[in-house]
């Protein structure tokens, strides 16, 4: 088997034509869905970027035990498992978080890898004396750096070196993918993980894509919203959304070039293509921009998944209603190459669903370390928050004490205890480190735009009558059922005692660990 796993970042499901979107032209994603199986109820697991990728690599939820961080020594990565049985795995990505402290153990799980430089605040180009006044005039005040550690200045420097379309990261990433295929398409038993940081912010795309979405805005460059409440003018909202649309259109075109390549070399007969994302993004819906700080509405949590497998070509264009999530990708990728998942995996292979739709799970929990624990059964979504976000106990369990862009502080590690391991740590004990807190006293998983939580009220939505999640409902029976399912799924994932206590749930006996 040959597998091409294409992962975009912040690919908004309802913006895609194959999921009913109409404001953005995405004919290539639609074209792919017409020859593949499309999953209509696919959800995130852990958020944001690297927690989602740990879910993806291990087939387990990350957010119940730790925040953003590296793969742990006891983690069983799909890529390393495939390598162990002779499948060649290759990562091509411009997702620079892999090369920061908090992602540093992922890319080395592959047989080989290639890093495309320059996205967002990747420390790519050096400029000792950047033209600060020119940048101040060139970019909207919303995008100006707010201190020496704000990576927006590095982004401005990087963008100075992206003059032509070929300089942009998405084209360079796909070109590296074509180079790999040129050299290896006739070989067998490989997996290419082709990952684009786009359409993650900043929403910078070449002019020919941006011209498709006129707004009338004439101010400085405005293509990077901050993760905050919506306060912009209507025209500024249009401009930001238009820039996202332009970037999504570029992703669509370059993904289409991959489809063209598959056609040209008749690769559909022996190659599986898997398309997905890590999470979505709020573009002023619910009066919020971004992710992390606000509740995980479906614009963030309900994500695309489309799979084309040569053995299921007869199912082309079909859709599946089974409830799936990111943790299912790991056992699916193993299954594609004839490998069974380890006993620690909680996800399910989706191979049987390619043949026909069938129930996979009753409910799925998802969330971010320190925020709500959320659940959906496909009909309802329920966001369960602690009564007081400042008084909850929360700990990071890790042997790789690294945050997004730094190691754990010595002062934090000085408070660490040695804790008994979990059912997935292969008998290995862990450091138990009190979670960092923000100025409000809320535990936080990593610094930056997602360093605090707001709108932290427990709410229930009925997706059948309110798919946009605009009107919370009260239904004690439904809430009790979903809360029971949260507890059962947390126990199944061997969540620590404090994960139950913060939600006012009883702690299972087996979770009473020291």
pLDDT tens column, 22-70: 999 999 999 999 999 999 999 999 999 999 999 999 999 999 999 999 9
Give yes or no for residue 448 having a pLDDT over 80.
Answer: no
Helix, strand, coil in percent for the chain, rounding step 5: 35, 20, 45
Residues 383 and 401 in one domain: yes
Q: What's the pLDDT band for 513 if we cut at 50, 70, 90?
A: low
Tens digit of each residue's pLDDT (9 = 90 or more) over 204-229: 999 999 999 999 999 999 999 999 99
Helix residue ranges per DSSP H, 359-510: 410-413, 476-492, 497-501
Spatial contact of 449 and 292, defined as CB atoms under 8 Å apart: yes
pLDDT at position 98 is 97
Residue 12 tokens read as 């908004």
Mean pLDDT of the region 73-78 = 98
Query: Would residue 63 count as lying in a domain?
Result: yes
- Compute, in degrees rounded to 10, the torsion defined by CA atoms 244, 245, 250, 252: 120
> Domain boundary residue among 346, 361, 376?
361
Among candidate residues 172, 128, 436, 454, the one with its CA nearest the CA of residue 291: 454
User: What proportion of the chain, given as a percentage, has pLDDT over 90?
Assistant: 93
Which SS3 state, helix, strand or coil, does residue 35 take? coil
Residues 185 and 304 in one domain: yes
Residues 335 and 424 in one domain: no
Mean pLDDT of the region 112-116 = 98
Residues 388 and 334 in one domain: no
Q: What's the pLDDT band for 509 if we cut at 50, 70, 90?
A: confident
Residues 335 and 455 in one domain: no
Residues 330 and 467 in one domain: no
User: What proportion of the chain, given as a percentage, has pLDDT over 70?
Assistant: 98
Query: Would residue 116 count as lying in a domain?
Result: yes
Residues 266 and 289 in one domain: yes
Query: Would residue 150 count as lying in a domain?
Result: no
Give yes or no for residue 501 having a pLDDT over 90.
Answer: yes
Tens digit of each residue's pLDDT (9 = 90 or more) over 357-394: 999 999 999 999 999 999 999 999 999 999 999 888 99
Q: What's the pLDDT band for 447 if we cut at 50, 70, 90?
A: low
CA 67, distance to chain mean position in Å, is 14
Which SS3 state, helix, strand or coil, does residue 206 take? coil
Query: Would residue 149 count as lying in a domain?
Result: no
Q: Rounded to the nearest 5°, which phi and psi values hold at 246?
A: -65, -45
CA 246, distance to chain mean position in Å, is 20
> Domain boundary residue among 315, 342, 361?
361
Asked, as a colleague might, if the bond just before 327 is cis with ω within 30 of 0, I would say: no
Query: Would residue 505 count as lying in a domain?
Result: yes
Residues 354 and 378 in one domain: no
Query: Would residue 40 count as lying in a domain?
Result: yes
Query: Would residue 139 count as lying in a domain?
Result: no
Query: Would residue 142 count as lying in a domain?
Result: no
Tens digit of each residue's pLDDT (9 = 90 or more) over 307-365: 999 999 999 999 999 999 999 999 999 999 999 999 999 999 999 999 999 999 999 99
Question: Beta partners for 459?
Answer: 383
Residues 32 and 119 in one domain: yes
Q: What is the pTM of this model?
A: 0.97
More confident residue, 140 or 451: 140
Residues 68 and 121 in one domain: yes
Residue 329 belongs to domain spanning: 2-126+155-361
pLDDT at position 514 is 44
Residues 348 and 373 in one domain: no
Mean pLDDT of the region 424-446 = 89
Distance, in Å, from the CA atom of 153 to the CA atom of 16, rounded to the nearest integer, reads 31
Distance, in Å, from the CA atom of 502 to the CA atom of 500, rounded to the nearest integer, reads 6
Indicate the average pLDDT of the chain: 96
Residues 353 and 336 in one domain: yes
pLDDT at position 206 is 98
Provide the domain count of the chain: 2
Spatial contact of 397 and 419, defined as CB atoms under 8 Å apart: yes
Among candidate residues 16, 9, 6, the one with its CA nearest the CA of residue 198: 9
Identify the CATH number of the domain in which residue 250 sits.
3.40.720.10
> Domain boundary residue among 310, 337, 361?
361
Give yes or no for residue 443 having a pLDDT over 90.
Answer: no
């Amino acid at each position: 088997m040959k597998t091409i796993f294409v992962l975009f970042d912040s690919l908004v499901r309802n913006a895609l034509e194959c999921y009913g979107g109409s404001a953005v032209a995405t004919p290539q994603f639609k074209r792919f869905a017409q020859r593949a199986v499309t999953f209509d109820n696919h959800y995130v697991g852990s958020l944001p970027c690297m927690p989602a990728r740990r879910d993806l690599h291990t087939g387990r939820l990350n957010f119940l035990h730790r925040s953003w961080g590296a793969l742990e020594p006891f983690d069983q990565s799909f890529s390393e498992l495939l390598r162990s049985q002779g499948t060649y795995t290759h990562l091509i990505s411009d997702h620079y978080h892999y090369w920061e402290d908090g992602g540093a153990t992922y890319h080395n799980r592959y047989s080989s890898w290639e890093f495309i430089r320059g996205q967002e605040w990747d420390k790519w180009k050096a400029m000792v004396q950047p033209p600060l006044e020119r940048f101040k005039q060139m970019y909207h005040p919303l995008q100006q750096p707010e201190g020496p550690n704000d990576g927006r200045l590095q982004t401005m420097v990087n963008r100075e070196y992206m003059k032509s379309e070929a300089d942009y990261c998405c084209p360079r990433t796909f070109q590296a993918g074509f180079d790999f295929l040129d050299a290896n398409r006739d070989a067998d038993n490989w997996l290419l993980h082709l990952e684009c940081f786009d359409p993650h912010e900043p929403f910078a795309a070449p002019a020919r894509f941006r011209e498709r979405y006129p707004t009338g805005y004439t101010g400085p460059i405005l293509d990077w919203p901050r993760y905050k409440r919506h306060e912009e003018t209507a025209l500024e909202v249009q401009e930001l959304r238009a820039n996202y649309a332009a970037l999504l259109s570029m992703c669509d075109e370059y993904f289409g070039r991959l489809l063209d390549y598959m056609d040209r070399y008749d690769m559909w007969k022996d190659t599986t293509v898997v398309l997905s994302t890590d999470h979505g993004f709020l573009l002023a819906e619910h009066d919020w921009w971004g992710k992390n700080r606000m509740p995980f509405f479906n614009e963030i949590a309900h994500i695309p998944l489309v799979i084309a497998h040569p053995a299921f070509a007869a199912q082309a264009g079909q859709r599946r209603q089974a409830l799936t999530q990111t943790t299912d990708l790991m056992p699916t990728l193993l299954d594609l190459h004839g490998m069974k998942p380890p006993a620690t995996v909680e996800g399910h292979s989706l191979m049987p669903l390619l043949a026909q739709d069938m129930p996979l799970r009753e409910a799925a929990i998802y969330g971010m370390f320190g925020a709500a624990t959320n659940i959906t059964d496909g009909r309802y979504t329920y966001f369960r928050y602690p009564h007081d976000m400042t008084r909850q106990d929360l700990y990071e369990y890790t042997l790789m004490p690294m945050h997004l862009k730094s190691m754990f502080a010595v002062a934090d590690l000085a408070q660490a205890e040695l804790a008994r391991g979990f059912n997935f740590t292969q008998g290995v004990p862990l450091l138990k480190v009190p979670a960092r807190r923000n100025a409000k006293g809320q535990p936080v998983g990593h610094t930056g735009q997602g360093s605090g939580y707001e709108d932290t009220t427990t709410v229930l939505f009925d997706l059948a009558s309110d798919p946009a999640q605009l009107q919370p409902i009260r239904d004690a029976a439904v809430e009790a059922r979903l809360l029971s399912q949260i507890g059962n799924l947390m126990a199944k994932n061997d969540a620590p005692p404090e994960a139950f206590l913060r939600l006012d749930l009883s702690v299972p006996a087996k979770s009473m660990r020291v």
